[in-house]
Amino acid sequence: MDPSARICLIFFGPPGAGKGTQAKLLSRQYGIRHISTGDILRDAVSRRTELGLTAKVIMEAGQLVPDEVMVGLVREGLSSPATARGFILDGFPRTIPQASALCTLFGELGIGEYRVVEFQLDPDAIVHRLGNRLVCPQGHTFSMSSGELHPGGPCPDCGAPLVQRDDDRAETVRNRIRVYDQETAPVRHYYEERGVLVSIDASSSIDEVTRELYRRLFGS
Ligand code: AMP
């Protein structure tokens, strides 16, 4: 891809693969919009909007919010002038109907060139990462596997208290992985057939994944 042209990306992969972390870095580096459907829903939950009240129960069960709701949110996000330089869709599409609705939406919005980055991570690593994940209210994400950070402790970036996400509890994680295998994994084939898939190994360090991502996308 040419980094000076509009950058249109979809980040695809299981929960805990590092999509959000890499999306934030890339979005800052290139001034492109990061659209995380999980973040949009968590914001609605914390503001107790109508969407939030519906989504909360579904998210805590590790299930998926209905396609038509999600497509509406993404349509709104992509129609914003903030996507002029480009965007990264993080956590969408998660079902085949969402992928096909997105294809229609791209057509309507005149988006022709895009890439789907697949973050590959095996199930044991997913369970380990999610079980150790801590977040703060600003969305900064850390691992407590080094033993330095713990729930209730201060976020190293902003000082707000760190917590475990409700849906990162072991029981919900198992359900999220099951839902991923059933509903989301087939989306990979959808994009592979269209020749837009770029697969990267997401098991290495944040810096190594970033380097690999830039190399594969921009050849740099
Ligand atoms: P995430 O932060 O991407 O792991 O998303 C957290 C939760 O939000 C998911 O487990 C789903 O319940 C919900 N969610 C996020 N994105 C979608 C989507 N594209 N379709 C349906 N549900 C979603």
Asked if residue 134 is part of any domain, the answer here is: no
pTM of the full predicted structure? 0.94
Asked if residue 52 is part of any domain, the answer here is: yes
Instruction: Give burial (CB, 10 Å; 0-12/13-18/19+) of 164.
Output: middle
Cα–Cα distance measured from residue 66 to residue 88, given in angstroms and rounded to the nearest whole number = 21
Q: Which two tokens stand for residue 91?
A: 């956590």
Count up the domains in the chain and report the number: 1
Asked if residue 163 is part of any domain, the answer here is: no
Q: Which of 77, 75, 68 is nearest to 43 (CA)?
A: 77
Q: Which residue in the list 33, 42, 94, 129 is annotated as catalytic?
A: 94
Asked if residue 159 is part of any domain, the answer here is: no
Q: What are phi and psi of 122, to 5 degrees?
A: -80, 160
Domain span at 27: 7-121+179-214
How far, in Å, is the centroid of ligand 1 from the Cα of 186? 16
How far, in Å, is the centroid of ligand 1 from the Cα of 58? 9
pLDDT in the model for residue 4: 86
Cα–Cα distance measured from residue 31 to residue 212, given in angstroms and rounded to the nearest whole number = 19
Asked if residue 86 is part of any domain, the answer here is: yes
Q: CATH number of the domain at 36, please.
A: 3.40.50.300
pLDDT in the model for residue 184: 97
Q: Which residue in the list 33, 42, 129, 176 is annotated as catalytic?
A: 176
Q: Point out the residues of the chain with pLDDT beneath 70.
A: none
